[in-house]
Amino acid sequence: MSPNPRSAKAAASPNIAFIKYWGNIDQAIRLPANGSISMTLGGLETQVMVTFDPSLQADELDAQSAEVGSDPLTRISQHLDIVRDLAGISSHALVETQSNFPSGAGLASSAAVFAALTIAACEAAGLELDSIELSRLARRGSGSACRSIFGGFVEAFSGEEDNDAYAEVIALADHWRLVDLIAIVSREHKQIGSTAGHALASTSPLQAARVADAPRRLDVCRQSILGRNFPPLANIIEQDSNMMHSVMLTSTPPLLYLSPPSLAVMEAASSWRTAGLRVCYTVDAGPNVHCITHADDAEEILSRLRTVPGVEEIIQAPPGAAARVL
Ligand code: PMV
C-alpha cells in the first residue's frame, strides 16, 4: 500500500527592494551579485499549498493568480527537487497557489510565491529548517524570495557561495511607520522577466560600478532605517533604483521597463519631496512605481497620486509580517 499524501500550506508577502538585487554571480543557484535591502509588504499575500502525493506521475501546478515566470511548472518542479533531495523523498507534488494582488506587474510576486512554496514544501516533507536555512533555500527559487521569509525591514547578503547568501531582519515591522503606495500604471505581464534580466546585467558596462558601490548604498540605507531618518533613505532609494535602470537600459539587448506614466510619477514624487513631503520613488522590473512615504504623509500623497495622468490604481502596503505556515 502506498503512503498517504502529505500536505502543508504557507503564506508569504511580496517585498519592495530599497536597495535592489540585479544580476547573479552564479545564475544556476541565484547567487546575487550584490546585497539588497527591502521592506516586506503587509496586506499583500500569496498562499501556497503543497501536497506530496505518491500516486502522482508528475508535479502539477494549479496556479490561480501567482506569477512564477514563463515556465512556472518547470521552475516550481526544480525547486521541489531541492526539497525532495534534502528530505530524501521522491513523491511528486500538487502545488496550488492563490494571491490577493496582481501578478506580472513588477510587484515581486515571485518572491512571495517562492517564500511560501519553500515553507509549505519543507513542512509537507517533514523538514525542520530554521529561518536562515529557509531563506537560503527560497533564494534558489527567486533571488528576492530570500527576503520575503522575514517581516519588516530585511537585508540579503550577496555571499561567495550558497551558504552565505541569505537574508536577515534589520528591524521589525513596527519599527517605522512607512507605507508603500504602489502606483499601478499597467497590469500587463512584462516582456522580459527578472530571471532573463539578471542574466543580461553583466552585459552592461555600468554593472561593475553599480556592484562596486553597493556596500555604500547598503550602509546608508541600513543606517537610515535604524535611525528612522527619511531624507537620506529617500535619496539612496531613488539613486539605487536609477542605477539599476541605467544598467537595464545599457544591457545588450537593452531593457526598458519605464513608461511615460512611470516617469510622470517619478518626477512628481521627487518634486513633492522638494516641497517638504516625505516621499520617494523606486521601480522594479516593470512600469509600476512604488512611492515610499511616511504614514503621516500617506493620505496627502495618495490624493496627489490620483491626479497623475496614467495612474490606474494605487495599492497601499505598510511593513508586513514574516512568512508562515498556515
Ligand atoms: O527575485 P527576482 O529574480 O524576481 O529578482 C528581483 C529583481 C528586482 O525586483 C528588480 C530587485 C529586487 O531586489 O527585488
pLDDT per 10-residue tile (average), the chain, 326 residues: 83 98 96 98 96 97 66 92 97 94 68 97 98 98 97 95 96 98 87 91 98 98 98 98 98 97 98 98 96 98 98 96 98
CB hemisphere CA count around 64 (13 angstroms): 11
At residue 65, the pLDDT reads: 45
At residue 66, the pLDDT reads: 52
At residue 24, the pLDDT reads: 97
Residue among 18, 27, 144, 147 whose CB has most ligand 1 atoms within 8 A, to mutate = 144
Of the candidates 98, 16, 26, which has an alpha carbon nearest to the alpha carbon of residue 64? 98
**Alpha-carbon span 248 to 254, nearest angstrom:** 6
Q: Which atom of ligand 1 is nearest to the CA of 110?
A: 4
How far away, in angstroms, is 22 Cα from ligand 1 center? 7
**Alpha-carbon span 178 to 195, nearest angstrom:** 29
**Alpha-carbon span 16 to 152, nearest angstrom:** 11
pTM of the model: 0.96
How far away, in angstroms, is 10 Cα from ligand 1 center? 21
Of the candidates 197, 16, 195, which has an alpha carbon nearest to the alpha carbon of residue 101? 16
Residues touching ligand 1 (Cβ under 6 Å) are 17, 20-22, 36, 108, 110-111, 142-144, 194-195, 198, 284-285
**C-alpha grid cell, residue 57:** 506521475
At residue 191, the pLDDT reads: 75
What's the CA dihedral at 254, 259, 265, 267 to 10 degrees?
Answer: 60
- List the residue whose alpha carbon is closest to atom 4 of ligand 1: 194
6-173 belongs to CATH 3.30.230.10: yes
How far away, in angstroms, is 94 Cα from ligand 1 center? 26
At residue 103, the pLDDT reads: 65
At residue 294, the pLDDT reads: 98
Q: For domain 178-317, which architecture applies?
A: 2-Layer Sandwich (3.30)
Residue among 36, 284, 288, 292 whose CB has most ligand 1 atoms within 8 A, to mutate = 284
- List the residue whose alpha carbon is closest to atom 9 of ligand 1: 284
- List the residue whose alpha carbon is closest to atom 8 of ligand 1: 284
Task: List the chain domain ranges.
Answer: 6-173, 178-317
Q: Which atom of ligand 1 is nearest to the CA of 284?
A: 10
At residue 3, the pLDDT reads: 73
